[in-house]
Amino acid sequence: QVQLVQSGAELKKPGASVKVSCKATGYSFTKYAIHWVRQAPGQGLDWMGWINGGNGNTKYSQKFQGRVTITGDTSANTSYMELKSLRSGDTAVYYCQVATLGYWGQGTLVTVSS
């Protein structure tokens, strides 16, 4: 069955970068886009961007443009989301998602604290 398995929780200092991975199994990685969504504590869902699993094209939210990079490795069926220049407001659970199929990763908690 379809599974999206994300990397583990991260603790980062302000100004640092974080890279979260999302390994996809159970479907053809190149056929669907993978989206990245975050959720700050007690807040709603915030779309960050997506990558086309087939051609690697990306689209980013203006809110994160310039700070986020989403990449994909078709040989490993894995997508990565890197967020730079972290600040305390970036503390959140980060999810990967295959929107068309309705599947989500388990989420990765990123905590930004000095």
Partner 1 sequence: SYDLTQPPSVSVSPGQTARITCSGDVLPKQYVYWYQQKPGQAPLLIMRKDSERPSGIPERFSGSSSGTTVTLTISGVQAEDEGDYYCHSADSGGVVVFGGGTKVTVL
71 binds partner 1 (CB under 8 A): no
111 binds partner 1 (CB under 8 A): no
Nearest to 99 by CA among 36, 24, 42: 36
What is the DSSP-derived secondary structure letter of residue 83? E
Contacts of 65 (CB under 8 A, 6+ apart): none
The span of 10-18, 19-27, 59-67, 81-89 binding partner 1 (CB under 8 A) equals 59-67
Residue with tokens 């970068």: 17
What's the CA gap between 42 and 85, in Å, rounded?
23
The span of 19-27, 54-62, 69-77, 79-87 binding partner 1 (CB under 8 A) equals 54-62
Which CB sits closer to partner 1, 57 or 113? Answer: 57
For 94, the 3-state DSSP assignment is: strand
**Binding-site member from 1, 62, 75, 114 for partner 1 (CB under 8 A):** 62
107 binds partner 1 (CB under 8 A): yes
What's the CA gap between 74 and 28, in Å, rounded?
10
Applying CB under 8 A, which residues contact partner 1? 35, 37, 44-47, 50, 59, 61-62, 95, 99, 102-107
